[in-house]
Amino acid sequence: MKQTGIIPAPLAALPWSMLLLVIAITGFGLVVLYSAAGGSLSPWALGQGMRFLMFLGMAVVLSRVPERMWQTIAFPVYGILVLALIGVEAIGGISGGSQRWLDLGIIRLQPSELMKPGIVLAVARFYGMLPAGQLRTINAIWPAAILIGVPAALVMLQPDLGTAMMITFGGLTVTFLAGLPLRLYVGSTLAGAAAAPIAFGMMHEYQRNRVLIFLNPESDPLGKGYHISQSKIAIGSGGLFGKGFLQGTQSRLDYLPERHTDFVFATMAEEWGMVGGLFLIFAFFLLIRWGMQVAHNARSKFARLTAAGLATTIFFYVAINLMMVMGLAPVVGIPLPLVSYGGSAVMTVMICIGILMSIDRDSRRGRRMA
């Protein structure tokens, strides 16, 4: 593309419709955070906005990284993150109690958060290297199993069931797209269903409670089922068009717990109703579809798998969070990307988008050259 007019070429080359979508989602999220704070920019909306701008800039920078570079750093990054996870575990062991982050002075880094795109890159890298002929052999399975299993197990130890699940799902999605035999997935799904009672037995008390309460939240509306009950009340009472901006009583009067983080969707739906909720769901649908489109158009096997894996990671974020707040899944502590307050999730999602943009850019350039 030639430089036309005053906009510099690198900027003009960005996928602006997708970025506008991301900005719209985040902007709406900031409005919700403003309301959740009782009509105030502090303590959430302003900080979240600043962070978003920072990570948006980072994503634009990442989009300039050549696709080949991702292949090169995939394993080293993965290695560093595994070490960091071990480090977190060690610090937690020394200080006593669970710890999920490393304090790097300027930022508190959650390695488990970065592992969400990290695992996609590593597994995609592995299948990118694997000759197609090997795909039906055991060599196509065990390295991927280790790549996924190690970080998932480490995160599980923290203990953080939600993130461990997302890492596992992210990795498995890539193996599925890489072409491992279908019966592996069907078989392991069945095995998983059979093993669920055993897994339930191995869970922590609080995790077990979450599952039990998910199965019957009304059994304990004031105790452990409180989160789900209040969240459903907030969403259900919003109705078609909601109670209006700054009018949400569930959030304003503290009935809704975690109203600015995990349950921000309920805060939003109470004030903006089903219309607001459908807007967010549709916006995320477009964003994820764009990511899958990038995967389709990617030129290399690695790029295809990475793009589809990252898009699916964003999908998992959204799907698990919405299922949780609407009472379709247990409370697992997964935020709604770009909307929930908190830097880590924004950072992860913006890294995913940055890498997706980088792959997109590469494939468009490839098409132009071809």
Partner 1 sequence: MKRPKKIVTEASQSFTFTRRALLLGGLQGGVGAVLAGRLAWLSIAENEHYALLSESNRVNLTLIPPRRGWIVDRQGKPIAINRTDFRVDLIPDRIVDKDKLLGDLQALLQLPEEEMQRIRDDLEEAQGFKPVQVAEDLDWEKYAAVSVRLNDLPGVSPMRGYSRFYPDGAAVGHLVGYVGAASAKDYEESKDPLLITPGFKVGKDGLEKVMEPTLRGTPGAKRVEVTARGKLVKELTTRSDVPGHTLKLSIDAGLQTYAARRLGTNSGSVVVIDLATGGLLAFVSMPSYDPNSFSDGIGRDEWKMLSEDDHIPLMNKAVLGLYPPGSTVKPMNALALLEAGVDPRDRVVCAGALRVGNGLFHCHKKRGHGPLDMKNAVMQSCDIYFYEMSRRLGYDRIAPVAKAMGLGQKFDLPLVSQRYGTVPDSAWKLKKYHQPWTIPDSLNASIGQGYVLANPLQMAVMASRLASGREIKPSMFFGHDKPAAPLPYSAEHFAIVRDAMYGVVNEGGTGGAARMQVPGVALAAKTGTAQVRRITMAERAGGVLSNASLPFRMRDHAHFICFAPADNPRYAASVVLEHGGHTVRNLDSPMTGRDIMTYLFDPDRAMKSLAEVEPTWGGDIATRMAAKAEAWKLAKAGATPLPTSTPTPADPGANVAAAVD
Binding site for partner 1 (CB under 8 A): 132-133, 135-136, 173, 176-179, 230, 232-240, 249-250, 253-255, 269-270, 273-274, 277-278, 281, 284-285, 288-289, 292, 295-296, 301, 304-305, 308, 312, 315, 319, 322-323, 326, 328
* Token digits of residue 266: 């309920």
Task: Report the distance separating Cα 178 and Cα 22, nearest Å.
Answer: 28
Distance of closest approach, residue 284 Cβ to partner 1, in angstroms: 8
Distance of closest approach, residue 27 Cβ to partner 1, in angstroms: 21
Distance of closest approach, residue 350 Cβ to partner 1, in angstroms: 20
For partner 1, the closer of residues 179 and 366 by Cβ is: 179
Would you list the DSSP string of 267-293?
A: HHHHHHHHHHHHHHHHHHHHHHHHHHH
For partner 1, the closer of residues 99 and 229 by Cβ is: 229
Residue 109 has φ and ψ, to the nearest 5°, of -100, 130
Distance of closest approach, residue 333 Cβ to partner 1, in angstroms: 18
Task: Report the distance separating Cα 65 and Cα 301, nearest Å.
Answer: 18
For partner 1, the closer of residues 65 and 135 by Cβ is: 135
For partner 1, the closer of residues 156 and 318 by Cβ is: 318
Task: Report the distance separating Cα 259 and Cα 230, nearest Å.
Answer: 10
For partner 1, the closer of residues 99 and 230 by Cβ is: 230
Distance of closest approach, residue 96 Cβ to partner 1, in angstroms: 31
Nearest to 162 by CA among 336, 363, 12: 336
For partner 1, the closer of residues 55 and 290 by Cβ is: 290
Distance of closest approach, residue 165 Cβ to partner 1, in angstroms: 15
Instruction: Mention every residue, 6+ apart, whose C-beta is less than 8 A from residue 316.
Output: 166, 169, 170, 334
For partner 1, the closer of residues 82 and 177 by Cβ is: 177
For partner 1, the closer of residues 133 and 197 by Cβ is: 133
Collapsing DSSP to helix, strand or coil, 102 comes out as strand
Task: Report the distance separating Cα 33 and Cα 261, nearest Å.
Answer: 9
Would you list the DSSP string of 164-210?
A: HHHHHHHHHHHHHHHT--HHHHHHHHHHHHHHHHHHHHHS-HHHHHH
Q: List, in sequence order, every beta strand (DSSP E) within the chain.
A: 102-103, 108-109
* Token digits of residue 157: 């130890």
For partner 1, the closer of residues 85 and 228 by Cβ is: 228
Q: Which amino acid makes up residue 135?
A: L
* Token digits of residue 276: 């607001």
- The sign of the CA dihedral 156, 158, 163, 167 is negative
Distance of closest approach, residue 298 Cβ to partner 1, in angstroms: 10
Collapsing DSSP to helix, strand or coil, 81 comes out as helix
Task: Report the distance separating Cα 77 and Cα 57, nearest Å.
Answer: 21
Task: Report the distance separating Cα 44 and Cα 341, nearest Å.
Answer: 7
For partner 1, the closer of residues 330 and 343 by Cβ is: 330
Distance of closest approach, residue 301 Cβ to partner 1, in angstroms: 7
Distance of closest approach, residue 277 Cβ to partner 1, in angstroms: 5
Distance of closest approach, residue 43 Cβ to partner 1, in angstroms: 18
